[in-house]
Structure formats: structure tokens, C-alpha cells
Chains A and B, each alone.
Chain A
């Protein structure tokens, strides 16, 4: 089955700096890669996603890049703000009739004011 590795497990940045979280996946059939933000005790919220036919996607301060050859994808947050502090999870899905998501272990991002 799919295996998703996520790094780093914790990340501390100063407000205004950029943050980068990286994930690798094992199943070359995976073609959908979402990123979720989860605040303590809350539901995961989809913040951005990318499909395998796209190399990069951007939404305001958030961007995701995908390298299918290397089987890795990354989340980039620019101009970080204290409210960006949360746990971020990457995930991968093989698509087709299999809609299962396999999650990475998560990254605790702390943005210091």
C-alpha cells in the first residue's frame, strides 16, 4: 500500500518568514495530493491540493509543488502569521475507484510573533 513520509515533524519560524514542509510517497499510481491544516481538537481543513497533471499550484500565501518523478511534494507558506500555527498533514490518493487518503505523520508549525 501507499506510504507517505512527512518532514519535519516540528517547525518553528518567525512571523513573516516562509515555511516549507516536504512529503514523499511510495505508490507511483497516486495522483491526488491534498494538504490539511488541523488546529488542536478541530477537524482537518483542506487548504490546498494538487493533481498529478500539474507541477505547481498557488493560492495567495500558500503553494504546493509536485515532482512525480521523484515522488515528492511540498507545501510552501510565505509571509507566515501566528494564525498559521497548527498541525499540517499531507496525504496521497491513488484515484480511480480508490479514493482512500494515506496521511503523513504531520508537522507542527509554530509561528512566533
Chain B
């Protein structure tokens, strides 16, 4: 149980285009999902907390107009990188909190974004 999927697993796009990444909880309902960014050989940096049915809470320094988050259902959250630039190239990972299991988070497999 507690499986989280992400799609796509990798994407290459041109500078200036937008990319949407989906995060799904497959066998449980996730009222809270998290989006992280991880640069090579670095730690996971929380970008935002996504709550079903409400606006996402962004961490300091993360541009909410550039990284659009939508959590429209209990099993799906999406991250859209708008007007992507090469510096947005990174590994984006989502996680979902299992309700009733304290603070435990389960991670998706990640999406490798490369912006040319």
C-alpha cells in the first residue's frame, strides 16, 4: 500500500514552454501532497505543500506564478512549470502524506526535467 506515481518520468522541453507533472496516490487518498526539487548531488528542497481543495502553500523563494500547483482531487496533484528556462532543469519529486499515519510521507519516482 501507499504507492505514489508520477508522470512523466522524464521530459525535455524548449525554453519558454510549459510543462505539467502529475502526481497520483494509487491506493490511498492524500489530502496533503508535497512537491520537492532536487538538484544533482543535493538534498530535497521543499517547494510547496499542496492541500486538496485549497491553494498551495509555497516555501520562501519559490515563485508561485512560475510553479503552478493544483490539487483538484484526493488522488491527484499537478505541478506546472511555466515558461521554463534551463535553470529550472532538475529532478522534481512529489510525496503524499498518508492520513492517519502521522507524518509519514511516501514519495513518487520523480520527474527529470531538462530545459534546452
Interface residues of A (CB under 8 A from B): 32, 34, 36, 41-46, 49, 51, 89, 93, 95, 99-106
Contacts and interface: CB of A to CB of B under 8 A. Distances in A.
A99 B108 contact: no
30 contacts: A34-B103, A34-B104, A41-B110, A42-B109, A42-B110, A43-B107, A43-B108, A43-B109, A43-B110, A44-B44, A45-B107, A46-B105, A51-B102, A89-B43, A89-B44, A93-B103, A95-B102, A95-B103, A99-B32, A99-B49, A99-B105, A100-B49, A101-B34, A101-B103, A101-B105, A102-B46, A103-B43, A103-B44, A104-B43, A105-B42
A95 B43 CA distance: 21
Nearest to B6: A43
A84 B107 CA distance: 19
Interface of B: 32, 34, 42-46, 49, 91, 93, 97, 102-110, 112
A95 to B, nearest CB: 6
Contacts, number: 51
Contacts of A36: 107
Nearest to A42: B109
B49 A46 contact: no
A104 B42 CA distance: 10
Contacts of B106: 46
A34 to B, nearest CB: 7
Given A103-B43, A103-B44, A43 B103 contact: no
Chain B interface secondary structure, helix, strand, loop or mixed? strand
Contacts of B105: 34, 46, 99, 101
A57 to B, nearest CB: 14
Contact of A99 (B45, B91, B97, B109): B97
B67 to A, nearest CB: 17
A87 B11 CA distance: 24
Nearest to A108: B41
A43 to B, nearest CB: 4
